[in-house]
Structure 1
Amino acid sequence: MQQQSAILKVIVISQFLCTSLWFASNGVINDLITNFNLKDNALGHLTASVQLGFILGTLIFAILNIADRYAPSKVFFVSALLSALFNIGVLWSGNNLSSLMLFRLFAGFFLAGIYPVGMKIAADYYKEGLGKSLSFLVGALVLGTALPHLLKGVTNTLPWKSVIFITTCLSVTGGLLMLLLVPNGPYRKPSQKLNLLAFFSVFRNHKFRSSAFGYFGHMWELYAFWAFVPVILKRYNDLHPKVMLNIPILSFYIIGIGGLACILGGFLSQKTGTKRTAFIALLLSCACCLISPLMFTSNSESLFIAFLVFWGMVVIADSPLFSTLIAQNAPPEIKGTALTIVNCIGFAITIISIQIINNMRSFTDPNNIYTVLAVGPILGLIALSKKPKTI
């Protein structure tokens, strides 16, 4: 038990350090726009590039059963190094939008060997209490994702390149920690051969399918919300000129508070049930999407920020719970592949929602566009509510 606890701490820290690469370019987006003569819609394109890279990576990792055929800690380490290498490419002075998108795409590709593989490693150590352990792991992802905004906020006196350099170093450190301190888990069941059919066979199970579809609905909303938090804050600033929001720091808090929500959700699920807790969180985040236009009209700065903080909590609280349900309902010998498959599809969905929001900004009222994000949670809630067919 003591060893499990120590191992979990290392996995959580490594996940936190490595996933700081995810929004590294988002944290310095205004600097990238200025230095490389990009258009304002570069945020959506660069974010979508990371997501696309992650999708391609998870697709290949899943089809080749990488996380199940090879020692997952070694896969994590190599992925952390390669993702860091492409992250540092953002510093090249000759960059344009195309080259930046390419660097971000490959950084995202190798994040496929970090996030889902980290969950796989945790699942190899925990047979009981997996939900709680994954809540810490997803919490680490959330804080890692938010970290570049914090770095930008506290390093205003330093060159913007320092954010990219720091996140690169953190990823290398996280990979080394995983390699040196986390051996194969006691519940690991390695797959001895390539199983190309695993990509399709996992969806035959109703419980797995229901959990996966709930997760897909959650993902439609999650990364689009995270990507546009700074845009939402800037929009409120523009509508209320007397308000002076610290956008980088607030972006960190709004996204980062989700890490605490993941942990709270993990503990709550032990009393109310994993599926029920996930359902409640998805329902609450759906409500936030639907009432989001009202937040821009509020003259209360405190109420506006409180709403976004609450949204930042419920939008991610169900993520580790869905991952738990997926891991529990997948065959043990392809658990890593199953988690990777679902991540692959889920992140493909994020590209669609991010680009829809990105394009809607140019032809409709920016106050109303975030209601579109409710579509995913609504479909996810329907999937979770469906009963298996009886013959």
Structure 2
Amino acid sequence: MSAVPRRILPVIVLSQFAGTSLWFAVNAVMTDLQQAWGLQASAVGTLTSAVQLGFVAGTLVFSLLMLADRFAPSRVFLACSLLGAACNAATLLADGSLGVLLALRFAVGFLLAGIYPVGMKIAASWYREGLGAAMGILIGALVLGTALPHGLRAIAGDGAGSLFAVGGLQAWQSVVLGVSLLAAAGGAATALLVPTHPAQAPGARITPRALGLVWTDRQLRASVFGYFGHMWELYAMLVLVPAILATRFAGSAVSAAAFWVIAAGFVGCAGGGLLARRHGSARVAWWQLAASGACCLAAPWLLAAPLPVFVGWMLLWGMTVAGDSPQFSTLTAQNAPAQVVGSVLTFSNCIGFAISVASIELFVRAAAAWPLAQVLPWLAVGPLLGLWMLRPLLRGDVRPAALPSRPGR
């Protein structure tokens, strides 16, 4: 087997980082949109849910049509990066119309299905050995991409004289365009520098039989339902991060703090991948899920804690709420029959993101009606369910599931 060119993983990681920055581009400038267009505070939840639903729809369409097998994956990645960048940039033309914004965010989510999963497919074709470590870095790049718009908004500063307020554009408009340009550059980098692997295996067709296996196989059910509990907490927490930080910071400092809190998930993903080599994915996922659940439950006390303790709590939460993601992907792939791994991952991702839509809508509206100290502990419902479901995997006796045979006719 020939050596993998050294540029492959760095290019994929940077492109994944650039492309997935589209995910939270509007969230990072939501305060600006509320001031400029009079949007309601709850709009941040609705717009994020639109991205999630678009991703669910896109994942199903891309999988059913097998687009990354019919066409070169790097070309699919490029097309989706360019189209996603264009849809994101079109935010500037929405002129306060929530309906237009929702359509654009749904389109961005749909196109992200050709960026995040396709980037993982490209990486898997080149790194069949040591994929676990690469997975931690790749999902960590997704987390950094999610945090990036908040970082750009912090750099932009406040007021008409801010750094990004150039060419007659307001600072928030320049941030949105900057994210779009970065995503387009990431797509171009992958298309130009990452060729299709010469021995890339075609993907298997999606089969509904895999969906039944999620419910009937004990070990697969453990990893998938653990993931569902993780998804209940993850995106709702990420959406609420600016609101939580606004209780202690103001102005661009909120965006700067949000960047560091969300970006801490990279440490959790990469560090978790290293720990999993020694302790196993199930234990690492259990530890991180337990830690993030504890952060939820401790919210009533830590929201009013001294600033250093408050900041430490938020960084720990950001690190652990995302850090178990690679381990859940690994566990599901390990416990699913080889013939239907792609189907199981597709269905579990779609259900998980659908759960995140319900969670986002519930918690954003709850946070508008009640104090955060009363709302945040309920995020722990997901981690607690996930911890309960993960118990069968903690013994370390993982074995591949068997695909039930069809009855004879």
Q: 2:285·2:324 contact (CA, 8 Å) conserved in 1?
A: yes
Pick aligned residue for 1:257 from 252, 256, 264: 264
| Structure 2 residue 284 is matched with structure 1 residue 287 | no
Match of 2:202 in 1: 190
| Structure 2 residue 183 is matched with structure 1 residue 171 | yes
Aligned ranges for residues 1-391 of structure 1 at < 5 Å? 3=4, 5-92=6-93, 94-156=95-157, 157=162, 158=165, 159=170, 160-185=172-197, 188-191=200-203, 194-197=205-208, 200=211, 203=214, 205-237=217-249, 246-298=253-305, 300-330=306-336, 335-386=341-392
Runs of 5+ consecutive residues of structure 1 not aligned to the other structure? 238-242
Q: 2:226·2:390 contact (CA, 8 Å) conserved in 1?
A: yes
TM-score normalized by the length of structure 1: 0.91
| Higher alpha-carbon deviation: 80-89 or 138-147 | 80-89
Shift of the 61–176 alpha-carbon distance from structure 1 to 2, 3 Å rule, reads same
Q: 1:68·1:337 contact (CA, 8 Å) conserved in 2?
A: no
Runs of 5+ consecutive residues of structure 2 not aligned to the other structure? 403-409
SS at match of 1:127: coil
| Higher alpha-carbon deviation: 359-368 or 302-311 | 359-368
Aligned-residue offset at 1:323: 1.4
Q: 1:18·1:172 contact (CA, 8 Å) conserved in 2?
A: yes
Identity percentage over the alignment? 44
Q: 1:12·1:137 contact (CA, 8 Å) conserved in 2?
A: yes
Q: 2:264·2:319 contact (CA, 8 Å) conserved in 1?
A: yes
RMSD: 2.4
Distance 2:387 2:113 in 1: 27
Q: For residue 173 of structure 1, what is the amino acid of its counterpart? A: A
Higher relative contact order (CA 8 A, sep 6+): 1
Q: For residue 4 of structure 2, what is the amino acid of its counterpart? A: Q
Q: 1:130·1:324 contact (CA, 8 Å) conserved in 2?
A: no
Aligned-residue offset at 1:374: 0.8
Shift of the 200–62 alpha-carbon distance from structure 1 to 2, 3 Å rule, reads farther
Aligned-residue offset at 1:247: 0.4
Q: 1:99-154: CA deviations, max 9, x gaps? A: 11111111011101111222222222223322110100011001100000010010
Aligned-residue offset at 1:331: 5.1
Q: 2:269·2:323 contact (CA, 8 Å) conserved in 1?
A: yes
Q: For residue 122 of structure 2, what is the amino acid of its counterpart? A: I
Distance 1:209 1:188 in 2: 29
Q: 1:221·1:315 contact (CA, 8 Å) conserved in 2?
A: yes
Q: 1:62·1:338 contact (CA, 8 Å) conserved in 2?
A: no
Match of 2:405 in 1: none
Match of 1:240 in 2: none
SS at match of 2:350: helix
| Higher alpha-carbon deviation: 180-189 or 214-223 | 180-189
Distance 2:336 2:198 in 1: 18
TM-score normalized by the length of structure 2: 0.87
Q: 1:218-259: CA deviations, max 9, x gaps? A: 11111111111000011345xxxxx88810100000001111
Shift of the 70–330 alpha-carbon distance from structure 1 to 2, 3 Å rule, reads farther
Aligned-residue offset at 1:196: 4.5
Aligned-residue offset at 1:362: 3.4
Distance 1:199 1:365 in 2: 42
Q: 1:254·1:312 contact (CA, 8 Å) conserved in 2?
A: yes
Aligned-residue offset at 1:87: 0.6
Q: 2:42·2:368 contact (CA, 8 Å) conserved in 1?
A: no
Q: For residue 17 of structure 1, what is the amino acid of its counterpart? A: A
